[in-house]
C-alpha cells in the first residue's frame, strides 16, 4: 500500500499446490496447520506451525542462529502474535529457514507475507520490532546478562511509560520513579525485565524501592558500564491481552557524576511516553533537547529544544513512540 492509503500495489507470489501441502507429514495439529497455510494470515500460520512442532521459541531461535540467522525471541514472538511482520532481508531469510525447521512446504509461509512494504527513513518505522542487540548495540555484555535471567522475551508490551528523574545540587541523579502500563502478548506472563544504564562506573548500583504490583527478583550487572538487568515478578500471572500497572523507584547513592541525559528504549511501538526531569535550583543546565535515536547511544535522528521552567523543571511527551530510544539531553555551563 502506498503512503496515501488509497492505492494498493501487489505482485504475484507462488502459492503452494494442494499436493505439496498434503505432503506435510502427519503430526498433532497438522489438520489445522494445513487449513491456515491455505488461508492465512501469516501470524496464524506461524503460530499453528510452532504449536504443531512442539518447539519453544528459544529452541527455534537457537536453531536459526546455528544456520547463521540472528533473530531475537522477542521478534519471533511478535511475528507469531501479529504485532510485526518480517520486512528486512534477514527477516525474510529467517522465514525461509522457519519453513524448513517447522516442516512446512517451500513458500508455505513466505507466500502469506505478500510484497515487501515501502522502505525509507520514516515509512513504516513503527511496524518493526527492534531487537535487543540493535537497541543496545554498543553494550556487548547485555546478552549474557539477559541470558542469566532466562528468556530475553518477558512477553510484555510497554503500552505507556512515565519516568520522573530528579537531580541534586551537583547535577547527579538522586531518584528515578517509573510507572509502566503493561500488556501481555502471550499467556502465563509473570515477570517484567528491566534494563538500566548508569552514568558512573565508580558509583554504587541504585536501590529499588517503592515497588508496586510486583516484587524484585534477580539482579545482574556489569559494573564497568554500568549496566543493570533486573526482573520484577508480577503480583499476578497474566493471560494474553491482560494488563497491569507496575511502579518502582530507583534511589542513587550520593556523590555521582553529573548526568547529561535521561531516557528509555522501546523494542516495539507504544502509545505514550512521558519524561520529566527536575533539576536542583543550584544546578540548572543552559540548554535541553528532546531527542530520538535508533539506539541507546546512537546519533539523534531528531533533536528539538525544550523549555526549562523557572523552577528548573522540563518535560517531553512522545506520542506513539516507535522502536528506538527517546530521551532528554542537556548541556551544563
pLDDT digits (tens, 9 = 90+) for 199-231: 777 788 889 999 999 999 999 988 888 889 999
Q: Are residues 49 and 190 in the same domain?
A: no
Between 254 and 314, residue with greater pLDDT: 314
Query: Would residue 9 count as lying in a domain?
Result: no
Query: Would residue 1 count as lying in a domain?
Result: no
* Domains contained in the chain, number: 2
User: Which range of residues forms the domain containing residue 256?
Assistant: 137-331
Q: Are residues 93 and 169 in the same domain?
A: no
Q: Are residues 24 and 162 in the same domain?
A: no
Q: How far is CA 50 from the centre of its chain?
A: 22
Angle at 65 between CA 74 and CA 45, to 5 degrees: 55
**Rounded distance, CA 184 to CA 226, Å?**
29
User: What pLDDT is stored for residue 130 in this prediction?
Assistant: 66
Question: What mean pLDDT is predicted for residues 98-113?
Answer: 82
The pLDDT of residue 102 is above 80: yes
Question: What mean pLDDT is predicted for residues 175-202?
Answer: 90
Query: Would residue 10 count as lying in a domain?
Result: no
Phi, psi of 320 (to 5 degrees): 50, 50
Q: Are residues 256 and 120 in the same domain?
A: no
**pLDDT, tens digit, 9 for 90 and up, residues 117-148:** 444 433 344 445 666 666 776 777 888 888 88
User: What pLDDT is stored for residue 133 in this prediction?
Assistant: 62
CATH number at residue 149: 2.60.40
User: What pLDDT is stored for residue 286 in this prediction?
Assistant: 95
Q: Are residues 91 and 236 in the same domain?
A: no
Q: Are residues 82 and 182 in the same domain?
A: no
Query: Would residue 4 count as lying in a domain?
Result: no
**Rounded distance, CA 45 to CA 112, Å?**
9
The pLDDT of residue 115 is above 50: yes
Query: Would residue 188 count as lying in a domain?
Result: yes
**Rounded distance, CA 13 to CA 297, Å?**
40
Of 86, 101, 127, the residue at which a domain comes to its end is: 127
Query: Would residue 8 count as lying in a domain?
Result: no
**Under a CB-based contact definition with an 8 Å cutoff, are residues 90 and 96 in contact?**
no
Q: Are residues 100 and 185 in the same domain?
A: no
Per-chain mean pLDDT for the chain: 81
Of 127, 156, 182, the residue at which a domain comes to its end is: 127
Query: Would residue 252 count as lying in a domain?
Result: yes
Amino acid at each position: 500500500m502506498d503512503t496515501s492509503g488509497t492505492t494498493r500495489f501487489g505482485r504475484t507470489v507462488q502459492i503452494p499446490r494442494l499436493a505439496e501441502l498434503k505432503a506435510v507429514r502427519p503430526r498433532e495439529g497438522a489438520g489445522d496447520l494445513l487449513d491456515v497455510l491455505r488461508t492465512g494470515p501469516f501470524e496464524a500460520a506461524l503460530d499453528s506451525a510452532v504449536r504443531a512442532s512442539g518447539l519453544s521459541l528459544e529452541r527455534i531461535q537457537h536453531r536459526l542462529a546455528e544456520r547463521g540467522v540472528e533473530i531475537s525471541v522477542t521478534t519471533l514472538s511478535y511475528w507469531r502474535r501479529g504485532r510485526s511482520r518480517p520486512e528486512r532481508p534477514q527477516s525474510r531469510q529467517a522465514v525461509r529457514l522457519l519453513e524448513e525447521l517447522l516442516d512446512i512446504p517451500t513458500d508455505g509461509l513466505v507466500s502469506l507475507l505478500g510484497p515487501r512494504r515501502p522502505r525509507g527513513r520514516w515509512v513504516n518505522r513503527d511496524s518493526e520490532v527492534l531487537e535487543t542487540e540493535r537497541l543496545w548495540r554498543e553494550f556487548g555484555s547485555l546478552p549474557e546478562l539477559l541470558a542469566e535471567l532466562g528468556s530475553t522475551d518477558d512477553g510484555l508490551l510497554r503500552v505507556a511509560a512515565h519516568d520522573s528523574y530528579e537531580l541534586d545540587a551537583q547535577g547527579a541523579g538522586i531518584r528515578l520513579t517509573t510507572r509502566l502500563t503493561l500488556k501481555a502478548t502471550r499467556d502465563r506472563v509473570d515477570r517484567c525485565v528491566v534494563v538500566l544504564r548508569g552514568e558512573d562506573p565508580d558509583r554504587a548500583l541504585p536501590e529499588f524501592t517503592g515497588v508496586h504490583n510486583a516484587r524484585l527478583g534477580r539482579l545482574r550487572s556489569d559494573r564497568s558500564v554500568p549496566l543493570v538487568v533486573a526482573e520484577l515478578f508480577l503480583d499476578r500471572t497474566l493471560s494474553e491481552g491482560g494488563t497491569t500497572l507496575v511502579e518502582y523507584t530507583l534511589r542513587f547513592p550520593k556523590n555521582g557524576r553529573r548526568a547529561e541525559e535521561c531516557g528509555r528504549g522501546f523494542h516495539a511501538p507504544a502509545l505514550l511516553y512521558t519524561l520529566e526531569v527536575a533539576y536542583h535550583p543550584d544546578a540548572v543546565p543552559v540548554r535541553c533537547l528532546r531527542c530520538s535515536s535508533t539506539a541507546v547511544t546512537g546519533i539523534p535522528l531528531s533533536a528539538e529544544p525544550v523549555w526549562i521552567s523557572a523552577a528548573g523543571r522540563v518535560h517531553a511527551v512522545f506520542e506513539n513512540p516507535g522502536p528506538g530510544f527517546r530521551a532528554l539531553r542537556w548541556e551544563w555551563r
